[in-house]
Amino acid sequence: MTTHYESLQLAPAYRDSFNVEPPATNGERHMWPRKPGFCIRAIPRAADAAADAPVLRELLPAQWGLVPHWVKSASDGKLRAPKLVNARSETASTTQNFRDAWLQGQRCIVPMQAFYADDWRGAPKGKAVPTRISRVDGKPMGVAGLWASWTGPDGVPFLSYTLLTINANNHALMRRYGPEGNDRHMPVILNEGAVDAWLTVRIEKAKEFMRQYPANWLAANPVEDKADKVPQGLF
């Protein structure tokens, strides 16, 4: 389960890696549940567009932590969101909180520089070591996600998103992280060539994208202090 990640802070990264215009302001670097972040959606094609027309994308400000469209009030959504920052890909299509977003094809990409996982191995009780997970080549990650829109009494849509995760019990790197006895999960990191397809694929094909990212393409660096998240050498 991922409850902390780093957003992109360099404008060119949005253009170079995701072919979208960067936000006017970067927003917070360290993302936690219910923080305002960004997700990328496909712009619906015009009815007369050619079948092979390129997929156009848009970067949208949204809250990290899904607020399903059916919640009764803002306070209800506020309580639910911290628990809905991750959606297990194995059950996203059937779990009440995520089912509608999955079945309606509300797929998105969450751009990030890195995410964090807790290393409990050999740690004193309650003193897990936070570890920064990034790509070996330093490039941004595009994580598969789902988005939702909730409309309150004021009639203004409120956008939110969740990260899709996949079981990592047998992953050479990510199986190391998480409390003992719990299933390990990792974000679904998309290969560059899969970005457009993920945003536009038919619903019945979507689960084909739920794959582990190769361990040898990832770097893990423990951080000494959660306040500044400065990597302390290669793990």
- Distance CA(62)–CA(121), nearest Å, equals 35
Helix, coil or strand: residue 40: strand
| Residues 162 and 62: beta-carbon distance below 8 Å | no
- Distance CA(114)–CA(46), nearest Å, equals 35
Give the tens place of pLDDT for each residue, 194-233: 988 999 999 999 999 999 999 999 999 999 765 544 443 3
Give the tens place of pLDDT for each residue, 89-98: 999 999 999 9
State the Cα angle at 14 between 8 and 17, rounded to 5°: 105
| Residues 232 and 87: beta-carbon distance below 8 Å | no
Residue 131 amino acid letter: T
Measure Cα distances from 226 to 63, 117, 149, 185 in Å. 22, 12, 32, 21
- pLDDT at site 235: 24
Kindly state the helix (H) or strand (E) to which residue 135 belongs, with its residue range: strand 129-135
97 alpha-carbon distance from chain centroid: 16
Give the tens place of pLDDT for each residue, 119-147: 988 666 668 889 999 999 999 999 999 99
Give the tens place of pLDDT for each residue, 46-88: 666 666 778 899 999 999 999 999 999 999 999 999 999 999 9
CATH number of the domain located at residue range(s) 5-222 in this protein: 3.90.1680.10
Identify how many contiguous H helices and E strands the chain contains and give both numbers: 4, 12
Phi, psi of 133 (to 5 degrees): -110, 125
